[in-house]
């Protein structure tokens, strides 16, 4: 069975679906907030040109999911599956960002839970790459049960910590 990079996933707070070109304006309205990228190695995503490049790349990735608040039906962010490796039984979840109005854990927690539950239908482990200066994302990873197992460069060549969650970690919680 091949990994499904863009499923429709629904929870009580968050719904995830494939990113579409018409999502650009709603997603840019969130990404234009420079505080979202404050601890990220690529801070230009908050300006129009930087976001256009990011949006094009994320759309072309074929693995990006748009996050929608189920109560308001408003776009609140996005996340992505990347790098499915059948032999390693592994996939990466990353490129996650949420509107500041949805920071604080419950939305990110549910978004990641939905994505993890989906991923574990195909793989035994999920990895997340987080920049060494991105303390918010490091705390968020620890909050959802991520274990830091090392470091390696991310897809853009930036140093990153590697966090991992296994299928057995999820069942123990």
Domain count, the chain: 1
Surface-to-core class of residue 25, CB atoms within 10 Å of its CB (0-12 exposed, 13-18 middle, 19+ buried): exposed
Note whether residue 119 is domain-resident: yes
For residue range 116-165, list pLDDT tens digits in order.
999 999 999 999 999 999 998 899 999 899 999 999 988 888 899 999 99
CATH code of the domain in which 35 resides: 3.40.630.30
Note whether residue 29 is domain-resident: yes
Note whether residue 158 is domain-resident: no
Paired sense of beta strands 75-85 and 90-98, if any: antiparallel
Higher pLDDT, residue 31 or 43 = 31
For the cut 70, the answer to whether the pLDDT of residue 170 exceeds it is no
> What is the reported pTM?
0.94
Find the domain containing 46 and state its range: 9-123
Q: Measured between alpha carbons, how far is residue 140 from residues 24, 54, 97, 159, 170 in Å? A: 26, 22, 12, 18, 16
Note whether residue 40 is domain-resident: yes
């Amino acid at each position: 069975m091949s990994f499904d990079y863009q499923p429709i996933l629904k929870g009580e707070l968050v719904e995830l679906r494939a990113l579409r070109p018409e999502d650009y304006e709603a997603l840019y309205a969130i990404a234009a907030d420079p505080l979202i990228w404050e601890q990220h190695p690529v801070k230009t995503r908050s300006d129009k040109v930087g976001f256009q490049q990011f949006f094009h790349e994320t759309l072309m990735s074929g693995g990006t999911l748009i996050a929608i608040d189920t109560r308001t039906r408003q776009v609140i962010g996005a996340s992505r599956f990347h790098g499915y490796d059948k032999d390693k039984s592994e996939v990466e979840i990353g490129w996650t960002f949420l509107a500041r109005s949805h920071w604080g854990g419950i939305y990110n927690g549910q978004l990641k839970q939905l994505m993890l539950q989906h991923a574990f239908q195909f793989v035994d482990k999920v990895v997340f790459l987080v920049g060494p200066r991105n303390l918010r994302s490091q705390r968020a990873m620890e909050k959802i049960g991520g274990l830091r197992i090392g470091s390696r460069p991310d897809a853009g060549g930036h140093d990153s910590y590697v966090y991992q969650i296994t299928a057995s970690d999820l069942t123990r919680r």
